[in-house]
Amino acid sequence: MSATILIVEDEPAIAANVEYALRTDGFRPLCVTLGMQALELLRQQTVDAVILDVGLPDVNGFELCKQIRTFSQVPVLFVTARSDEVDRIVGLEIGADDYVVKPFSPRELVARVKTILRRARGGGAPEQARVDAWFKVDEVRARIEYRGAHVALTRFEYLLLKAMLSQPERVFSRAQLMVLTEAPEASMERTVDTHIKSLRAKLRAVAPDLDPIQTHRGMGYSVKVSS
Ligand code: CA
Domain boundaries, the chain: 4-121, 128-223
pLDDT of residue 186: 63
Judged against a pLDDT cut of 50, whether residue 125 lies above it is answered with: no
- Write down the CATH number for the domain with range 128-223: 1.10.10.10
pLDDT digits over 147-184, tens only? Answer: 888 999 998 899 999 999 988 888 888 888 888 887 77
**72: CA distance to ligand 1 center in Å?**
23
> Model pTM greater than 0.95?
no
pLDDT digits over 37-54, tens only? Answer: 999 999 999 999 999 999
Distance CA 222, CA 227 (A): 14
Judged against a pLDDT cut of 50, whether residue 226 lies above it is answered with: yes
Judged against a pLDDT cut of 70, whether residue 134 lies above it is answered with: yes
| CB of 131 closer than 8 Å to CB of 183 | no
Confidence band of 219 (pLDDT split at 50, 70, 90): confident
pLDDT of residue 4: 96
**183: CA distance to ligand 1 center in Å?**
30
Q: Which residue has the higher pLDDT, 32 or 178?
A: 32
**55: CA distance to ligand 1 center in Å?**
4
**51: CA distance to ligand 1 center in Å?**
12
pLDDT of residue 56: 95
Helix H, strand E, coil C: the string for the chain is CCCEEEEECCCHHHHHHHHHHHHHCCCEEEEECCHHHHHHHHHHCCCCEEEEECECCCCEHHHHHHHHHCCCCCCEEEEECCHHHHHHHHCCCCCCCEEEECCCCHHHHHHHHHHHHHHHHHCCCCHHHCCCCCEEEECCCCEEEECCEEECCCHHHHHHHHHHHCCCCCCECHHHHHHHCCCCCCCCCHHHHHHHHHHHHHHHHHCCCCCCEEEECCCEEEECCCC
**77: CA distance to ligand 1 center in Å?**
14
In this structure, which CATH number among 3.40.109.10, 1.10.1760.20, 3.30.2320.80, 3.40.50.2300 belongs to the domain 4-121? 3.40.50.2300
Q: Residue 162 half-sphere exposure, CB side, CA atoms within 13 Å?
A: 25
**11: CA distance to ligand 1 center in Å?**
6
**35: CA distance to ligand 1 center in Å?**
11
pLDDT of residue 123: 52
Q: What's the distance, CA 191 to chain centroid? A: 23
**171: CA distance to ligand 1 center in Å?**
28
Poorest-pLDDT segment among 29-38, 54-63, 118-127, 136-145? 118-127
**65: CA distance to ligand 1 center in Å?**
15
**10: CA distance to ligand 1 center in Å?**
5
Distance CA 138, CA 11 (A): 40
Dihedral angle over CA of 140, 141, 143, 148, nearest 10:
-90
Confidence band of 217 (pLDDT split at 50, 70, 90): confident
**9: CA distance to ligand 1 center in Å?**
6
pLDDT of residue 48: 94
**56: CA distance to ligand 1 center in Å?**
5
**2: CA distance to ligand 1 center in Å?**
27
pLDDT of residue 3: 94
pLDDT of residue 95: 67
pLDDT of residue 97: 78
pLDDT digits over 72-115, tens only? Answer: 889 999 998 877 777 666 555 566 778 888 888 888 899 989 98
Confidence band of 126 (pLDDT split at 50, 70, 90): very low
